[in-house]
Each structure stands twice: as C-alpha cells, then as structure tokens.
Amino acid sequence: MLSIFRRKNNDKVKKSGLDSSVSSSDLLNEEAEPAADAEIETELSIHPAWNIPSEQMYVLRFLNNELSPLKANQISLSGIEIKPEGTGVEVTAFVRNSLNKGIKFEQVSLLLLDSDKQVIARHEFNLREIGEIPGRSSRPWTFTFPASAIQKREFSLEDWTLAFELKKKHSLDLHSTWEKSIAEEDKQKLEKLLENIQPPKSGEINFMGLSAKLADSGDLHVTVLIRNGHEKNVQLQQLPLQVEDAAGDKVAGGGFKLEDFEVKANTSKPWTFIFPSSLVTKDNPDLSNWKVSTIQ
C-alpha cells in the first residue's frame, strides 16, 4: 500500500513536494522523439498487481490531474508526501513518462532534497519492481530511504524534491605534476581510453595497468590508472601493491606512502609507482601481459 493511504483521512492528502524532470536520453539513453506536442498530459497508471479501492483511486486521480504538463522526452518525479519512518524516510511520488512508448528502469540513484536544495538523502534503488510505465503516464510509487542513506535529520516537510541523480561521465583526473608534464597527445590517448572501457562499478576502486618497464638499475616502473567508482572523492595514504607477469608469477610487491593524494569522484587518475630493485623478486619477468593489484 502507498504510504499516503496508511493515514486515516485520505481526503486530506495534498501534494507537499515539488517536481523534477530530466531528459529521457540523459537518464535512459532513449533517443528523443519528435516533439509533436508542446505540452504533454500524463494519465494515471496503476501497477498491474495493485488492487486500489475506489476511494483511493479518486485521491490518486485528483492528485494526478493537478500535475503540470510535461515537455516532450521527459522523465519526471512529482513529490506527493514525505514521511519519516523509523530511522529512514518514506517518499511517495508520481513517476512520469512523457514519451509515446513505455519505459523500464534498472538501478537508479535518487536524491531527496530539502526546500533549499540541500541533500537530505541519497540512495540507489532497484526500480524493476515498478514495472513498465506506459507512454504518457504517471505511476504512483513509494520510495524508502534507509537510515544509512540519510544525510540530514532535520528538514521541512514542505517544498522538498525527489530527483534523479544523473551519473556524470567517468573522466580523467590528472595530478598537478602530470598536468605540467604530460604531452597533449598522451592526455588525449588516456581520455580516449576511458571512453572505450567500462567504468568501475558504483562504490568500487580498482587498478588498471597501463605500462610496466624494468629500468637498467633493476627498478620496476609501473604506471596504472586508479579508478574511483565512488560518488565522492577518495583520499589514498598507504597503498600496498604487487605486480604479476604473464605467467602469473609475482614480480614485485611493496607498500607506497602517498601524500595529499586524492582521486576525485567518478574519475580515473594515472600514477607511476617505482618498485626498487630490492623489491623485484623475479628475474626476466614476461611483461607482455601483466596485472597490478592491492595486497590484502
């Protein structure tokens, strides 16, 4: 049951949240449809598994009829009610689709914002359960932000906003020393590489090897991409690494101390680590294929 119908007086339900909209192409990679209509009204769509009593349907139809029209190719969230629930927060909203065709969601990151557009909560939802939202329709749904997602405990229950958090394109983050020394051609190659590889998973940090070379001194120079899949910047201070060659043999291993080393949110930072010859444990390693990993 929608949280708005747990109250005793359904006739007192009123819309307390604001609306937010994003382009369907930005959110779902859907190609834009020709904009035949300047404004698009959305009809109420109830989940097929729901059995809504007539008095509740009346409330939903009334709320839906009060919604402002959408523009073409928009996906919108229209807040109805916000309700602290235990240590979390429940939000009821219409999920609206102005496309002429139905849409489906997978994993979606949502932001809950207060009246000053400050973040109350951020959480990733699996929206497969909401089903297909038909073209030009609005579907009511309740979203539960768990305690772990709450960033602000005190906020107004009026003029809040539920919004899609669009993931920024995974990009290159160069340390200031690299910015000064790297050739523009090499920088473009790194940016092209990032465009062609899968970004790290949400909340994941991993390492991708770029080059490995044994110097005449016996030192091993390894350049890697440190890939940050978090939505926040990550500070690295101690980094224990090991390198394995094409045979799977350990070539070198050791710990590196980093000072003022930050990898920005949703970026990859290249860095070169030098293993002194004393830490190189294999003679004549096959570096035609190699990998670098953290030492657990």
pLDDT, tens only, 96-129: 999 999 999 988 999 999 999 999 999 989 999 9
Is the pTM of the predicted complex or chain greater than 0.85? Answer: no
DSSP single-letter state for residue 157: S
Q: What's the rounded Cα separation, in Å, for the pair 273 and 223?
A: 6
Residue-level pLDDT at 284? 93
DSSP letters spanning 187-236: HHHHHHHHHHSPPPPTT-EEEEEEEEEE-TTS-EEEEEEEEE-SSS-EEE
Going from the C-alpha of 163 to that of each of 35, 51, 115, 140, 174, the distances in angstroms are 23, 27, 13, 15, 31
Cα dihedral value 57, 63, 69, 72, nearest 10: -50
- The candidate with the shortest Cα–Cα distance to 263, out of 237, 239, 293, 236, is 236
- The candidate with the shortest Cα–Cα distance to 243, out of 234, 253, 254, is 253
For the cut 70, the answer to whether the pLDDT of residue 8 exceeds it is no
For the cut 80, the answer to whether the pLDDT of residue 149 exceeds it is yes
Mean pLDDT rounded to a whole number for the chain: 91
Residue-level pLDDT at 167? 74
The per-residue pLDDT for range 162-174, each reduced to its tens digit, is 999 887 788 999 9
For the cut 80, the answer to whether the pLDDT of residue 11 exceeds it is no
Residue-level pLDDT at 202? 78
Residue-level pLDDT at 193? 93
Angle at 135 between CA 130 and CA 138, to 5 degrees: 55
Domains of the chain and CATH, by start: 3-164 (no CATH), 171-294 (2.60.40)
* Stretch among 39-43, 226-230, 243-247 having the lowest mean pLDDT: 226-230
Mean pLDDT, rounded, for 76-87 = 92
Is the pLDDT higher at 199 or at 138? 138
Residue-level pLDDT at 117? 94
Percent of the chain with pLDDT over 70: 96
Residue-level pLDDT at 224? 96
Residue-level pLDDT at 9? 58
